[in-house]
Structure 1
Amino acid sequence: MAAGEMQVRTVSSYPVTAGTVYHAFSDTAGVVAERIGIRWLNASGTEISITWSLTTAGASAGWHRVSVAGVAPVGATQAQVLLSSTEVGAAVSHFWENVYLGLPIRTQGNLLPFGTESFEIDTSGWGVAANATISRQVPVMSWAVDAYTAGGHTLAMTVTANGNASVLAVDRPTVTPGVEYMAYAYLQPPTSGSTAWIELRFYDASGTQIAAQKSTLAAPGTGMYRQRASLIAPSNAATCSVAAGLDSATAGQVLRLETVVVVVAPEFAAGSILTYGASSFEQGVSGWTTASGVATLARTTPWGDTYFEGSYSLAVTSTTATTSTIRSGRFPAGAAAGLNFRAQVLAHTGAGSWPTVTVKIRWYDASNTDLGVSTGTSYAVPSGSWYVLPSDAVAPANATQAAMELVVIAGATNSVLHLDLLSLWQVLPQTAVNPVDDGGYVELTLRELPLDFLISVYRITPDGARSLVRGGSGLIDRQKVTSDLMVIQDHEAPLGVLLYYYVEIYNASGGFASSRSSVGTMLTLADINECWLKDPGNPQRNLKVVVQAAPDWDQPVQQSVQRIRGRRNAVVLSGVRGGLEGELAVSTRSDEERLALRLLLGSGNILLWQASPGLGVDDMYVAVGGVKEGRVGRLAQEPWRTWTLPMTAVDMPVTTAVNGSAGRTWQDVVTEFDTCADVLVVYGTCEDLLLDRRTG
């Protein structure tokens, strides 16, 4: 082809709903700059308009992302993706990969809406706080192929005059007092020496700022670096926002922002009482002090130099080969007296040697009186890797607060010890079970799981049979551990049987690491006249119904009968006898049960039938054929219905996963929709809302 603009578009057009925001992106590489667009079509296939991204600020032969988002215009029913580049010569290739068109992909749990987190639509979610102008730019940036919340447009803050400059998110999402929140964003400073920062701000009900936490980037260069800031919302906090800026900047300098997020701060161990700041050191030493000795404390620098989580760690430096004691701030532990707590730290020798590091817990009462410190557990920290150092202690009488305390002995002058991922929590059983009879499931709780390891979970019945337990990604068989806490609802646990759970844990390379078992537990069904009908992939549809009559089973078999002349008995060629087939008669007692059974049967999925033990019926996976629904009596207002369910026994579905919200919470719904009416337009049922199945 000749030089000039080159455009390609998807052959198919895809259904869209007018007034809804859609997002398109692609990874690309070439010798010129490029852009991406969404082409909106009406019902007859005629083009209404095109929403184009800005053209990238440069060209790159390396893979980089282009992206755009926009509202489908009035009359739009279909859309196509457009890819465009203006080549300067003939026979030049431009490469595209990983193309997406759909609803916006945003960070789950983010208090900020898509338009404020990302800048693919415009900059309306942001305003100038001081000495700056705002625009959008598309720098050439490489991102991981699955980093779907990043790439494309960035917010560009241009400094107007020499001095400090900043921008502020317009949105004021609601917060809960006493909850710790974390804000983060990718920052691209104009120079490695620039003082770029992000700040989490809290406001009271009148809109007055009442608290803030600034986190300054120690940039190693001029790339994109994710910087975090965290703070507990004050008692009078109502809303929050995020600011970013440059201090002592020069006129014309540009700070770029990408993927701005505010979420509830994560816990490194379930139930840890330490704040995120005191655990990860992303914004400084966060209340840690030297109680005795010569050790100095500082956040490592620059960004990404030494860390286990986030981008920084705490650097403990001892100029002499002596003992020092360092201590965190105090944190509320509740009515801790007599309870076992665990302090845990990850340690790494950065320089010199550390022959002894003792991990302790110091206790305080409600009036901040020091109640003493635990004996602690001592470790030697070799060079090389990061090492986990745990220590347990029982809280004394009247203890309501606790602090972590480390006694560190340097083995050489100018020794440096790095600390990260600190936690302090009440020790609860590693494995716990709770039968929920009304729900027909057993809740299995697994604590203190090693991150990034692999896990298999089995249900063990008295006959010794092992069955894998089902989870959100299918049967839990060497699945990756993504959280130290896992709560599993086993809806396929048998009724009236004493069972327990056996867990196998493997390291990331697949080698066996450890195992654990639960105590025994049993599910019961109070009324023997009832049975459970369950959808293994959609437990929210599970239903108890009244049994009218159990099936009379057929066991079909394929046979061929050959009658040989002159021989009394026939020759019969027989296949394997098939599974059970029969009709289960059940009743529903209310309109709600009737609608629920229709929903359960409507999908045609394989179901699990469970009856009370002792009735001669085993738990059975069944396929249900054509259903008959009848009335009881002649009164129209009678709510009871009779159902005849033709069932065929089948094998347990092994590829089915438990459907769920996939991490979505009510916070995501509140962020995306302004009113309940907006939700009703998008979701037809509560289940659609749970599974994020949108109309149109």
Structure 2
Amino acid sequence: MAIPGNFLSETTSTIDPNTSGWTPKLNCTLSKGVGGRVGDGCLVVKSVAAGEMQARTVSSYPVTAGTVYQVFSDAAGASVPERIGIRWLNAAGTEISITWSLYTMAASSGWHRVGVAGAAPSGATQAQVLLSSSPLAGLVNQYWENVYLGLPIRTTGNLFGFGTESSEIDASGWTPLANATISRQVPVISWAVDNWTAGGHTIAMTAVAAGNASILAVNGPSVTPGVEYLAYAYLQPPVLTANAWIELLYFDGNGNQIASYRSVLAAPGTGMYRQRVSAKAPDNAASCSVTAGLDGASAGQILRIETVVVTAAPQLQAGTVVPYADGSMEQGVGQWTVASGVATLARSTPWGAQASDGSYSLTVSSSTATASVVRSGKFPVSDAPGNNFRAQVTSHVTAGTWSSVNVKIRWYDAANVDLGASTGVAWSLPGSGWYSMPADGVAPAGATQASIELTTTATAGSSVLQVDAASLWPVLPLTAVTGFDADGYVRLTLRELPFGFLLRVQREGPDGLRTLVRGPSGLIDGDPTVSDLLIIEDHEAPFGVSLRYHIEILNADGSGASTRSSAQIMLTLADFNEAWLKDPGNPQRNMRVVVQQAPDWDLPIVQTKHKVRNRQNAVVLSDSRGGLEGDLAVWTRSDEERKALRLLLGSGNTLLWQVAPGMGEDDMYVNAGQVGLDRVGRLAQEPWRTWSLPLTQADMPVTTGVNGAAGRTWQDVVAVYATCADLLAVYATCEDLLLDRRTG
């Protein structure tokens, strides 16, 4: 999979099919090896003699002075540690300086990540990637693959900027709180090949003396009171018994700490483990930060920290009222209690041993073969009376036996008076796998709060049940459609999609014919479900035709699992003098234009005519007849429309032309040739223009995906750029900002 935003070509990055993107710089020869991570190829850098050897990219890549760039690679070599660098060049190709990473802390024959980031120095216009190691003899091999050079890759939605999330630049995003010093290290860690936000440098907190030690992220981003936030980071404890933790802190407008929430790592070893902590921002919260540390540390012990993120807490189910801390049990049992019975509650241990979501689950233990009632906290539910809600948990058995788990919703009024529970559903647990167990209930009059209630019945002593991914949400239609005539599209909403399945979405016309609908990766034909909620904007839906959507949920092997259909819907184009011109991959460019004259179509054909001597009729050899060709004349009525049409036509992409029903034309995909643009009148200030668009009928683009912000929000912009003036130097247009197309 190509690394997004990589300046390097696929050949240079993956060393497949050859090493043409690389050249020796010092004391080495290059060859193509096998056993790579992205494809089979990898770059083998072999020393000629003892001493440092360096390889560099053949090409130099344009950079802008003052802009931060990042480089990383996966490396392997059993003999010596390695480092990676960015070589800065001026316009004449002369080296200005090199930004080097630290050396890896040890040599390793397994693939591990190295990386560094830094600002391009004054005068730099180009950059190269440098790979370096210093063997003690000749003919020593070092292996490289999965190489990246480009703008920093950060976690979308992170309130922290790149400098705090990653320590690839320096350690300035952190300060000691107690009994600690801060440095950077590059431990030998094998990250997933597509985990591009992790690896390279880590923050190393060293305990100065025996006792508690902690450090603080100094860049406190703004938060919104009442919003639940999730903080997480990878923690590497010094020993298995270390008490390592992460805290989410909230501060008021004066910078005073007003709340803190801690999550302790139950480490299964001394590797890197992602630890999460979440909490709702208090009413007077203005900013937040993260601390990490060791309790009861020995002098000299080191806690390493990697990929620090604070973001809006995810919802385990769209619309759930259960906070993440109570739904995923990442920092403890939350507000869950035992209402009756002998059961006891605890967070599962160690990290990663029992979890459906995240790394932990709720452990329900029963010492006897009896029933116990386990209940979540009370959570506000708006507009509840008379409406249907659904509670759901995911559970499995780890010890003993359980006859059933009865899932209910218990209701409360504003004064916390118990209004009773729904009938519930009793679920049996046939094996040790994870099972999702939903139950519906209609809220009674006066209900303003609700909790999830589980009646767990053990049939043997010393039985243990794990519960995770707890959610409670108002039940809405699984499939909904809404038409937006003025904007020319249909919005399709799909709810409660199952994870781990594939999805196919088709538009069905009145004739029963189905056409695949377009998504971010192209036509949605076997795309994996990554969320229980999916909203699709279908900008290619026809006008004046009753249509519906057919949704297929597929198993991993492509076989059918279930299907859905939407209600019927029709888009309307009110003014038959107008037509739509749309770019399927860039719907933000779509626009209506006034039709001056519809095309007079030609049906071209390529023929060769041969006159045979002494025969009356020629012999004609014909190819198949081509699609329609003709000139569409349209008007734009303002400078804004003129600029919009130029933007739409500027890419040269295949377009969709749509007209009102009854105009004697079918919707079709077209390519526009050389365009004529004239004023309607002779006055310079006349805003109307007449356009002549030579159209050639085209096939529907299959692989073109719908461009979008890909989850980015204004918070991602604020985390990187301090002022609007900073944006002007990076994004040429508002569309470039939307799509994160940076110029430097």
Q: Normalising TM by the smaller chain, what interval?
A: over 0.9
Match of 2:59 in 1: 12
Indicate the residue corresponding to 1:353 in structure 2.
401
Task: Select which of 265, 278, 288 maps to 2:336.
Answer: 288
Distance 1:79 1:565, change over 3 A: closer
Question: Is 1:39 the equivalent of 2:87?
Answer: yes
Distance 1:119 1:559 in 2: 66
* In structure 2, C-alpha distance between the alignment counterparts of 1:306 and 1:158, rounded to whole Å: 31
1:513 matches 2:561: yes
Distance 2:439 2:264 in 1: 33
665, 682, 692: which one aligns with 1:634: 682
- SS of 1:572's partner is strand
2:660 alignment counterpart: 612
Contact 1:230 1:276 in 2 (8 A): yes
Deviation at 1:565, TM superposition (A): 4.8
Shift in Å, 1:432 = 0.5
d(CA) in 2 for partners of 1:25, 1:570: 67
In the aligned structure 2, how far is the partner of 1:574 from the partner of 1:113?
A: 63
Match of 1:587 among 635, 643, 646: 635
Q: Does 1:306 align with 2:354?
A: yes
The separation in 2 between residues aligned to 1:571 and 1:302, in whole angstroms, is 83
Aligned residue pairs: how many?
Answer: 696
AA of the residue aligned to 1:352: G
Q: Residue 339 in 1 paired to residue 390 in 2?
A: no
Aligned to 1:689: 737
**Could you say which residue in structure 2 is the equivalent of 1:466?**
514
- How many Å separate the matches in 2 of 1:450 and 1:643? 48
Which residue, 97, 100, 106 being the options, matches 1:52? 100
Q: Paired residue for 2:411?
A: 363
Q: CA deviation at 1:564?
A: 4.3
Match of 1:240 in 2: 288
> Which of 707, 719, 726 in structure 2 is aligned with 1:659?
707
> Structure 2 counterpart of 1:370, which letter?
D
Greater displacement, 609-618 / 627-636: 627-636
**Residues 350 and 383 of structure 1 are in contact (CA less than 8 Å); yes or no, is this contact kept in structure 2?**
no
Q: Which residue of 1 aligns with 2:42?
A: none
Out of 73, 76, 80, the residue aligned to residue 29 of structure 1 is 76
The alpha-carbon deviation at position 139 of structure 1 amounts to 0.9
Give the structure 1 partner of residue 212 of structure 2: 164
Give the aligned residue type for 1:106.
R
C-alpha displacement of 1:302: 1.0
Q: Match for residue 49 of structure 2? A: 2
Give how far 1:45 is off. 0.6
Distance in 2 of aligned mates of 1:36 and 1:578: 54
Is 1:153 equivalent to 2:190 in the alignment? no
Match of 1:575 in 2: 623
Match of 2:527 in 1: 479
Spell out, residue by residue over 1:510-544, the C-alpha distance to the aligned partner (whole angstroms, 9 max, x if none).
Answer: 22100000010001011111100000111100010
Whether 1:599 aligns to 2:640 is: no
Please say if 1:426 is aligned against 2:490. Answer: no
| Residue identity matched to 1:645 | L
1:435 pairs with 2:483: yes
1:116 corresponds to: 164
CA distance in 2 between counterparts of 1:384 and 1:404 reads 23
3-state SS, counterpart of residue 682 of structure 1: coil
Q: Tell whether 2:681 aligns with 1:650.
A: no
> Distance in 1 between the 2:160 and 2:487 partners?
35
4-13 vs 610-619, which moves further: 4-13
Would the aligned equivalents of 1:354 and 1:409 in 2 still touch at CA under 8 Å? yes
| Equivalent position SS for 1:133 | strand
What is the DSSP-based 3-state SS (H/G/I as helix, E as strand, rest coil) of the residue aligned with 1:508?
coil
Q: Which residue of 2 aligns with 1:457?
A: 505
User: Normalized against structure 1, the TM-score is what?
Assistant: 0.99
Q: Secondary structure at 1:688's aligned position in 2?
A: helix
1:349–1:382 Cα contact (<8 Å) kept: no
Partner of 1:550: 598
Q: What is the CA–CA distance in structure 2 between the aligned matches of 1:326 and 1:393, rounded to whole Å?
A: 18
Q: Is the 8 A contact 1:353 1:382 kept in 2?
A: no
Q: Name the residue aligned to 1:319.
A: 367
The answer (yes or no) to whether the contact 1:354–1:382 under 8 Å persists in 2 is: no
For 2:710, the aligned partner's letter is A
TM-score after normalising by structure 2: 0.93
Unaligned stretches of 5+ in structure 2?
Answer: 1-47
Identity %: 68
SS at match of 1:87: coil
**67-76 or 365-374, larger mean C-alpha shift:** 365-374
C-alpha displacement of 1:566 = 4.9
Which residue is equivalent to 1:396?
A: 444
Structure 1 residue 293: Cα displacement: 0.4
How much has 1:568 moved relative to structure 2? 4.2
RMSD over equivalenced CA pairs, Å: 1.0
Amino acid at match of 1:544: R
Pair 1:138-2:206 in alignment: no
8 A contact 1:54–1:138 mirrored in 2: yes
